[in-house]
Structures are given as C-alpha cells and as structure tokens.
Amino acid sequence: MMRLSCLSLSYQNQFRAGKMDLPAFIRTARALSLDGVDLHMRNLKSFDRIHLKQLRRLCLDNGLSIPSFPVSTEFGLYPDRINAEIEKCRVAMETGLFLGAPLVRVFVGSTPPGGNPLRRNRRRPRHGPRPAKP
C-alpha cells in the first residue's frame, strides 16, 4: 500500500511569511488526508525536548507518521565548514530519532563556484541522435 506524506519545505513561502508553523502544517496535512509529514529541521522553533514531544504528540493525535526528518546542508560550497555541517547532520539524526522518524534525509547543498570539478573534463553530450555508421 502506498502512503503519502508532505515535506514542510513545500510550504516554505508560508513559513517565511509567518503564516504557518509546524503545528499548522501538521493540521493541514491531516485536512489533506495525508499519511505522514516530513518535518524539515529548518522549520523547528526549538530543539527543546518538550517542544519536540508536543510535535510528536500532535502527529499522533492526527494519525500522521513522520517518515523522514530532512535537513539542508552546504557540503559543496564551504569546505572550511564541513565539520559544522557534519554536526548539523548529527543533531538532525538525534532529533529525527527522538521524533520517531526512521530516516534522515540530507540535502547535501549546492555545487561549488565554477561547477563540479569532477564533471569539468567530461565531454558534453551532443543533442539529437548520432548519425548511423555505414
């Protein structure tokens, strides 16, 4: 059976405008008859255990699971901040575990300026089919 969930980043404009918070997002997901909510780390107001318990309880009361706990990082842009990004992932793993999410989804970030050095020397594919050999 397929189950449907929604990522809180799908409502990022409403979060940024202050029109939505995670409790409102959870209630919206319930109103849409979804099965779960993926609560992005960016949308948490606090990592306080009491706050996290309230979110977990709200999900349970609304019949919603937390299939993943996503976190955004920037491993590609700032090589000098890799340790901080790893720490952010560690915090996400602990938080997701506390919320009952079976996995953490890591958005690894942007490509460094100048593009991906691993792809620079690759030939670009030609557009369209190649001519047939006689």
Q: Which CATH class is domain 5-107?
A: alpha beta
46 half-sphere exposure, CB direction, 13 A CA radius: 8
Sign, CA dihedral 27-29-35-41, equals: negative
Q: Please state the pTM of the whole predicted model.
A: 0.80
**How many whole angstroms separate alpha carbon 112 and alpha carbon 105?**
21
Distance of CA 21 to the CA centre of its chain: 16
pLDDT tens for each residue of 24-72: 999 999 999 999 999 999 999 999 999 999 999 999 999 999 999 999 9
**How many whole angstroms separate alpha carbon 68 and alpha carbon 70?**
6
**How many whole angstroms separate alpha carbon 14 and alpha carbon 27?**
14
Degrees (nearest 5) of the Cα angle 49, 50, 53? Answer: 85
Cβ-contact 96, 68 below 8 angstroms: yes
Domain ranges across the chain: 5-107
Given this model, what pLDDT does residue 125 score?
57
**How many whole angstroms separate alpha carbon 93 and alpha carbon 41?**
10
pLDDT tens for each residue of 87-107: 999 999 999 999 999 999 999
Given this model, what pLDDT does residue 120 score?
53
Kind and range of the H or E run holding 106:
strand 104-107
